[in-house]
Structure 1
Amino acid sequence: MTSNWLDVALTQLGKTYPSSGAFVAFVMNESSIRADGQTGEWSTALLDLVYDVYELNSVENTRPGDLLFWGIPEQPYSVAIYVGGGHFVSVDENSKRVKMQTLNQNWYPSFTGTVL
C-alpha cells in the first residue's frame, strides 16, 4: 500500500497547516490520488475525507498509507496518515505544524480509511 503520498507527507514535516484535514487533502491532491467521492478531489473537511476513502476499517487492520481518524465516522475531529510501525504524520493541534507522532493509549484513532 505504500506509495508516493507517504513521501509527499514526509516532505511536509515542520510545515504549518490550518488543520489536519487541510494537510491530508494537500498530500492526497498533490499525489494525484483520486478521492472515492464524486469530484475526485480531496476536501479539507474531515467528514468529506471519511466519504472520500475507499473503505473504512478497524485500527487493527491499518496499513501504511491508510488514513487514521479520531471520532466517529459521522463526526470525525482529526485525521492523520499512518506511516507504519506505530507512527503517523499529522498536524499537531497546538503548533499547527506537521509532525511525526506515535500511537499511544492517550491519543489512539477510532477507525481507519483505506486510500486505495
Structure 2
Amino acid sequence: GRIFAFIGLERTLQAAIAAFDITDPANTSFVGLLVSNGDRAPEGLKGYVLDGQYYLAFSNEGSSTTSVFWLAPVPEPGSLALAGLALAGLLGGRLRRARKSA
C-alpha cells in the first residue's frame, strides 16, 4: 500500500540508490540508501515482483555490471502497518554480468 521512488546516484564512487516513500507527494520522506560495493554509475533501474517477492534490478554503466536486490516489507516503527519496500535488499542476491571484451 506504499509507493516508493528509487533514484540512482550515477556520480558516486560506488553504486548508490536513494529510496524515498512518495505515497503522499506532499510529505515525501527519505527511507534509506542502497549501496552496492563493486558497482559504479547505476543507470537503468527496474522494480518487479516475482513469486510475491519484490526486487530492484539496475545496470551499472561504470562497472559494466547488473545488480539485483531483494526488497522486503518491514513494519514501520511504532506501528503495525507495512513500511513497504525497505532496504533489506542489502541482504539480497546480486547478479553480475561479465565485462565484454573489445
How high is the TM-score relative to the length of structure 1? 0.27
Greater percentage in helix = 1
